[in-house]
Amino acid sequence: MKAAIICVDDEWTILTTLGQQLKRYFGKDYEIELANNAAEALSICAELTAEGLEIPLVISDQRMQGMEGDTLLIQLHKLYPKMLKIMLTGQANADSVGNVVNAAALYRYIRKPWDETDLILTVAEALRSFEQEQKLTYQNALLKEINAKLESSLSLLLASLEATIDGVLVLDSGGKVVSFNQKFAAIWNLPASTSTDDSQKLVDLILEPLIEEDASAFQALLVQENIKKRDLLRLKMVM
């Protein structure tokens, strides 16, 4: 299903010329929709959106009968804030352009009569910008979902650690202590204030009651030296 580019102008000759130029360059990937006034543009946008079509870009003339271009673009921005807006204007009206920039995040304005090459380059840039923003939005949503799953998995892991009858100490791949359960704290008689925030202090507390051989083995574990099976390393406390 193609996305759509909406073109709006109340002068039919100008509108069809604009549509032909865009269709020549972008017709393979985008539907080029023509609207002869603001009301028609709003209707087309509503219909396409209801059908599930994406509208990355609208190009509107400023001077039109009825609702003018700046008012239309501001209204479209309220309805479809991610849609990019380009204004065509024969007479650069600073107030009109300023209104759209401030209230509708105007992407560009192009003077009439426009240069076809400049128009096509501007539209291509706008479409790339829209696509990049869509990808970023998707990636952020995916990252948020992954983080939520990781937090859920971590909560489950921590709950499992607390439920076990064994003392458990968790190290990351760099040998840093990241967690321990209450059973481990009880076996090692760790102070209630002990946390993983001060990793070195925690390591010192763990090493203190170990016999020399196991203390050396644990230190090697921390720096990942010659430890092939860390899960089989047993620590024996001095009685």
Domain extents in the chain: 3-141, 157-232
Report the relative pairing of strands 30-35 and 3-8 from DSSP bridges.
Answer: parallel
What whole-number distance in Å separates Cα of residue 90 and Cα of residue 31? 26
User: DSSP state, 230?
Assistant: G
Q: What's the CATH architecture for 157-232? A: 2-Layer Sandwich (3.30)
pTM of the model: 0.64
Cα-to-chain-centroid distance, residue 167: 40
Q: Would the pLDDT of 228 be above 70?
A: no
What whole-number distance in Å separates Cα of residue 8 and Cα of residue 193? 68
Find the mean pLDDT for residues 118-142: 94
Q: Would the pLDDT of 237 be above 60?
A: no
Residue range 135-161, pLDDT digits in tens = 998 899 899 888 888 888 777 777 776
Q: Which of 36-50, 64-78, 91-105 has the lowest mean pLDDT?
A: 91-105
Residue range 55-71, pLDDT digits in tens = 999 999 999 999 999 99
Q: Would the pLDDT of 239 be above 60?
A: no
Task: Determine what percent of the chain is predicted with pLDDT higher than 70.
Answer: 89
Question: Which residues make beta-bridge pairs with 214?
Answer: none
Q: Which of 48-57, 165-174, 201-210 has the lowest mean pLDDT?
A: 165-174
Q: Would the pLDDT of 226 be above 90?
A: no
Nearest to 15 by CA among 80, 85, 71, 88: 88
Residue predicted with more confidence, 137 or 49: 49
Q: Which of 35-44, 112-121, 217-226 has the lowest mean pLDDT?
A: 217-226
Whether the CB-CB separation of 211 and 195 falls below 8 Å is answered with: no
Provide the mean pLDDT of the chain.
Answer: 85
At 188, the pLDDT band (50, 70, 90 cuts) reads confident
pLDDT of residue 5: 98
pLDDT of residue 174: 72
Residue predicted with more confidence, 49 or 92: 49
pLDDT of residue 231: 47
Residue predicted with more confidence, 115 or 157: 115
Class of domain 3-141 as given by CATH: alpha beta
Q: Which of 2-16, 157-171, 193-207 has the lowest mean pLDDT?
A: 157-171
Q: Would the pLDDT of 130 be above 70?
A: yes
Q: Which residues contact 238 (CB under 8 A, 6 or more apart)?
A: 209, 210, 211
pLDDT of residue 94: 66
